[in-house]
Amino acid sequence: MTKTTEQPIIFDYTLYRKFLKDLYLFKKETTPYFSYRYFSKIAGFTSPNYFKLIMDGKRNLSSDGINKFSKALKLNAKEKHFFRLLVLMNQAKTAEEKDFFTRQLLKSKVYKTLKPLTQAQYNYYSHWYHIPLRELVGRSDFINDPKWIARQFTPKLTESQVKEALKRLEKLDLIKKTKDLSYVQTDFAISTGESVASQGVINYHRQMIQMGSEALDRFDQDERDISSLTMGVSKDTIKKLKHLIRDFRKEIIATVNEDQKIEEVVQLNFQLFPLIKSNGDENE
């Protein structure tokens, strides 16, 4: 019989609980005496199901817990360091914290050498101008001149930002060079499944919301359309609103796809968030 599962490698993961789950399945298959109880014993936990609690996300790993796990899983120094960052990143409470540890992870040699694409994806989303730049490339009057490109954006970009961004887009196969040394869009769609890259998505949204706020000053009323609603709603209605937004977004995309020529690149943000949460705890 050949083994159906391979030894999971920590560097392949962005979610440490997923890593533990796969590792458990692997151990279970290859090591007959391995069990939750056995693991707790060698790791120094007295609770027999501790591994599972962590694995299922019922508990978080403490700093001490990370050490115990590392030792019991026989991680080497590099793996241990990576594992620690992964745990801290996954368990981070605030967005800033999460972003901090994501950066730390991307700094590690593993990502520099083994996974340069993940880093490029993170950077792609982390700077707001990559996505509109790709749209600009699709415009009929696009000129491959960093100076010209930099001028098209509001706020203006620097030439070096443009050069960097073009390189990044090319690396990610989102645009490609043409014979006459210009660029065209590709059909390639970036996947945002990985949490390292999706941390970049959060950065992107934050920047775009920020840009929306700045647009109030930057553009005249006839160039923009900004409105907002404040409403009291039930949980059920929130679900309905989300559906409505999704349908609306689909309609927008369909309309835009019918467009024959691109003259401007604009941003449309959708935001729905609570102002006052339901009374789970009682405040006056």
Partner DNA sequence: ACAGTATAAATAGGCACACC
Partner DNA sequence: GGTGTGCCTATTTATACTGT
Structure tokens at 219: 């553009």
The verdict on 282 binding DNA (CB under 7 A) reads no
Cβ 92 to DNA shortest distance, Å: 12
The verdict on 26 binding DNA (CB under 7 A) reads no
- Confirm if 166 and 246 have CB atoms less than 8 A apart: no
Cα–Cα dist 169/167, whole Å = 6
Q: Which of 35, 67, 185, 207 binds DNA (CB under 7 A)?
A: 35
Beta strands in the chain (DSSP E): 175-177, 183-185
Cα–Cα dist 247/199, whole Å = 25
The verdict on 49 binding DNA (CB under 7 A) reads yes
Q: Is the peptide bond before 116 cis (omega within 30 degrees of 0)?
A: no
**What residues have CB less than 8 Å from 120, skipping those under 6 apart?**
168, 171, 172
Q: Which of 19, 36, 69, 124 binds DNA (CB under 7 A)?
A: 36
Cβ 185 to DNA shortest distance, Å: 45
The verdict on 284 binding DNA (CB under 7 A) reads no
Cβ 105 to DNA shortest distance, Å: 20
Longest dimension (CA), the chain: 71
The verdict on 212 binding DNA (CB under 7 A) reads no
Which CB sits closer to DNA, 20 or 61?
61
The verdict on 37 binding DNA (CB under 7 A) reads yes
If you count them, how many residues does the chain have? 284
* Residue range at the interface with DNA (CB under 7 A); choices 44-52, 78-86, 95-103, 180-188: 44-52
The verdict on 53 binding DNA (CB under 7 A) reads yes
Touching DNA, residues 56-85 (CB under 7 A): 59-62, 64-65
In which element (H, E) is residue 43 found?
Answer: helix 36-43
Which CB sits closer to DNA, 25 or 216?
25
Cα–Cα dist 58/92, whole Å = 15
User: 93 φ, ψ to 5°?
Assistant: -85, -40
Cβ 116 to DNA shortest distance, Å: 33
The residue ranges that bind DNA (CB under 7 A) are 28, 35-37, 45-50, 52-53, 59-62, 64-65, 281
